[in-house]
């Protein structure tokens, strides 16, 4: 896959936006660790907007590239890792959801590697995976916002939000596992 990437792919708007999202991680970390939550939130909102925009532009203007297929999820994962590390440092209550998210992503990477090894193209992200990620961002943003702006902490609200997020991530993992099994089984049938 990497050998098919050419320098022209770097110049597409979606790939530039993905690189911009990766670059936004550094100011986010600095702002968050300095407890400048508003600036950190702006960095993440900007990252989220450019994430939506790069996918839209790639599809609308036929700028889907092999590099973009790697950069977009890489930007997602690096951003998510940065957010998780920062959150656990300042808000230890999110640790269980972070653990569920890490397990889900590791299992999915292993599954994708197995599919690639067997020359099976991993499927694109599905709605349930995206909803899990959106719920993670929403839950965490709400918890941080309430603490940063109103100095308000509510353990029950936090646990409900994080519990729903973890449940959606587990649901997504189960759905992806079912899809993985179908792809593996159909591949076996084709090879026979």
Mean pLDDT across 74-97: 84
pLDDT at position 1 is: 43
Nearest to 23 by CA among 53, 46, 54: 46
How far is the CA of 56 from the CAs of 13, 14, 53, 114, 151, in angstroms? 11, 8, 5, 29, 37
Asked whether residue 46 falls in the same domain as residue 113, the answer is no
Expressed as residue numbers, the domain containing 105 is: 92-192
Asked whether residue 76 falls in the same domain as residue 60, the answer is yes
The domain boundary, picked from 60, 90, 120, lies at 90
Mean pLDDT across 87-115: 83
Asked whether residue 108 falls in the same domain as residue 42, the answer is no
The domain boundary, picked from 33, 57, 90, lies at 90
- Percentage of the chain beyond pLDDT 90 is 12
Specify the pTM: 0.69
Q: What is the mean pLDDT of the chain?
A: 83
Burial (0-12, 13-18, 19+ Cβ within 10 Å), 82: buried
Nearest to 99 by CA among 154, 162, 192: 162
The CA distance from 124 to 69, in Å, is 10
pLDDT tens-digit profile of 146-168?
877 788 878 788 888 888 988 89
Asked whether residue 48 falls in the same domain as residue 140, the answer is no
pLDDT tens-digit profile of 114-133?
888 888 877 766 788 778 77
- 3 state SS for 127-161: HHHHHHHHHHHHHHHHHHHHHHHHCCCCHHHHHHH
Least confident of 52-66, 130-144, 167-181: 130-144
Mean pLDDT across 8-29: 90
Structural domains in the chain (count): 2
Asked whether residue 35 falls in the same domain as residue 45, the answer is yes
The domain boundary, picked from 55, 90, 125, lies at 90
Asked whether residue 82 falls in the same domain as residue 103, the answer is no
CA atoms within 13 A on the CB side of 48: 15
Asked whether residue 11 falls in the same domain as residue 81, the answer is yes
Asked whether residue 107 falls in the same domain as residue 184, the answer is yes
Asked whether residue 28 falls in the same domain as residue 45, the answer is yes
Residue 66 has pLDDT above 90, yes or no: no
Asked whether residue 61 falls in the same domain as residue 149, the answer is no
Asked whether residue 9 falls in the same domain as residue 85, the answer is yes
Asked whether residue 29 falls in the same domain as residue 108, the answer is no
């Amino acid at each position: 896959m990497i050998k098919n990437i050419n320098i022209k792919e770097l110049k597409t708007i979606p790939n530039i936006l993905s690189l911009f999202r990766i670059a936004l991680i550094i100011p986010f970390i600095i702002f968050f660790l300095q407890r400048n939550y508003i600036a950190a939130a702006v960095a993440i909102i900007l990252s989220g907007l450019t994430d939506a925009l790069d996918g839209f532009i790639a599809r609308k203007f036929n700028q889907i590239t092999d590099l973009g297929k790697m950069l977009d999820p890489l930007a997602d994962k690096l951003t998510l890792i940065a957010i998780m590390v920062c959150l656990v440092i300042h808000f230890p209550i999110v640790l269980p959801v972070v653990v569920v998210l890490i397990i889900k992503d590791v299992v999915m990477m292993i599954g994708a590697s197995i599919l690639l090894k067997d020359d099976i193209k991993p499927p694109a992200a599905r709605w349930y995976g995206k909803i899990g990620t959106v719920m993670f961002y929403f839950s965490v943003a709400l918890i941080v916002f309430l603490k940063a702006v109103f100095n308000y902490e509510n353990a029950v609200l936090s646990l409900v939000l994080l519990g729903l997020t973890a449940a959606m991530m587990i649901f997504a993992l189960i759905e992806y596992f079912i899809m993985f099994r179908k792809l593996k089984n159909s591949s076996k049938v084709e090879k026979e």
